[in-house]
């Protein structure tokens, strides 16, 4: 299976939300990183054929998805950033309703709903109304509805929003396991979630992919640009004004700074092994400046 994105572009008047984006996706987990306004949600809506591109196309195994209609929707699962639900429905009722809308036969739908309620730790509240749920529980219902049809392409916009650390780990493990022979696209602001499970990371800014690759590949791009420096607490603010600071840790009356900089910021600065967070901050800090 191959999902091909060819010079995909979306304009809103004079504003360019997505600018000639191209990529070829095969089974695996893809992490989409970018600041607010980078174009991530617009891109995902075009990948789902919800939003018509200004130009360019999305192809599944060589076929333009714009002309596939229900055939494409049958292999697609999508969680928007703010998914709609009926507050007075129970979790089980809501998922059964969405399954019916997706055309899943009743017997198969009942079995799948039970599977997903168990997988997402919702079985104990299956018969409770969604309006009584916490934000994290509602989010898990949203993830379940996206997975109802066992989609070959699963697109999730900020799926870990509202989840506690334990829930995030559970979801990461679930998605990693699910993506064996499927394409999973995960957009999030939580870099650690992408770092934990993504086979490939796409960093997006101003409507374009500015860099992409595996987590080790992207981290290697900032090799020699990550430093640790210990300074008196009174001086820490000055360093934060002049440099991109990835981490700020107190040790008594001194502060340990993790600084992202092209050159050694001080003779006392010690080089550090880079991680994905450092690469993200580098591309959205120094390069933007």
Q: What tens digit of pLDDT does each residue of 97-123 get?
A: 999 999 999 999 999 999 999 999 999
Provide the percentage of residues in the chain whose pLDDT is more than 90: 76
H runs (alpha helix) in the chain: 40-47, 70-73, 91-101, 106-119, 135-147, 165-178, 191-197, 215-220, 236-242, 276-284
Q: How far apart are CA 5 and CA 236, in angstroms?
A: 45
Place of tokens 């991530």: 40
Residue-level pLDDT at 286: 55
For the cut 80, the answer to whether the pLDDT of residue 288 exceeds it is no
Return the CATH architecture of domain 3-213. Answer: 3-Layer(aba) Sandwich (3.40)
Residue-level pLDDT at 289: 42
pLDDT band at 36 (very low <50, low <70, confident <90, very high): confident
Residue-level pLDDT at 285: 66
For 10, the 3-state DSSP assignment is: strand
Q: What residue ranges do the domains of the chain occupy? A: 3-213, 224-273
For the cut 80, the answer to whether the pLDDT of residue 266 exceeds it is yes
Residue-level pLDDT at 7: 97
Residue-level pLDDT at 78: 96
Task: Write phi, then psi, for 23 (nearest 5 degrees).
Answer: -170, 155
Which residue, 6, 210, 13, 174, is CA-closest to 79? 174
Task: Read off the pLDDT of each residue in 28-49 and give the average, rounded to a whole number.
Answer: 93
Residue-level pLDDT at 223: 95
Other CB atoms closer than 10 Å to residue 179's CB: what's the count? 20
Residue-level pLDDT at 190: 82
Residue-level pLDDT at 183: 97
For the cut 80, the answer to whether the pLDDT of residue 160 exceeds it is yes
Q: What is the pLDDT of the chain when averaged over all its residues?
A: 92
Identify the residue with better confidence: 31 or 188.
31
């Amino acid at each position: 299976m191959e999902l091909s994105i060819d010079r995909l572009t979306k304009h809103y008047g004079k504003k360019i939300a997505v600018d000639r984006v191209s990529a070829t996706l095969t089974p695996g987990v893809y992490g989409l990183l970018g600041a607010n306004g980078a174009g991530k949600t617009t891109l995902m809506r075009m990948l789902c054929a919800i939003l018509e591109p200004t130009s360019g196309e999305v192809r599944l195994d060589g076929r333009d998805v714009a002309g596939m209609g229900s055939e494409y929707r049958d292999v697609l699962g999508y969680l928007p950033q703010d998914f709609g639900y009926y507050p007075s429905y129970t979790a089980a009722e809501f998922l059964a309703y969405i399954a019916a809308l997706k055309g899943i036969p009743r017997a198969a739908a009942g079995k799948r709903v039970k599977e997903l309620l168990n997988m997402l730790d919702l079985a104990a509240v299956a018969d409770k109304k969604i309006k009584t749920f916490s934000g994290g529980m509602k989010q898990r219902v949203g993830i379940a509805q996206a997975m109802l049809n066992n989609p070959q392409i699963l697109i999730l916009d900020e799926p870990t929003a509202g989840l506690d650390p334990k829930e995030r780990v559970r979801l990461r493990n679930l998605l990693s396991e699910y993506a064996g022979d499927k394409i999973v696209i995960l957009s999030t602001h939580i870099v650690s979630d992408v770092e934990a499970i993504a086979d490939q990371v796409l960093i997006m800014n101003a409507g374009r992919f500015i860099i992409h690759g595996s987590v080790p590949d992207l981290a290697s791009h900032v090799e020699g640009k990550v430093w640790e420096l210990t300074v008196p607490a009174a001086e820490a603010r000055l360093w934060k004004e002049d440099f991109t600071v990835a981490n700020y840790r107190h040790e008594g009356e001194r502060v340990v700074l993790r600084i992202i900089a092209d050159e050694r910021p001080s003779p006392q600065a010690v080089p550090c092994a880079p991680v994905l967070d450092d690469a993200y901050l580098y591309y959205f800090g120094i390069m933007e400046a």
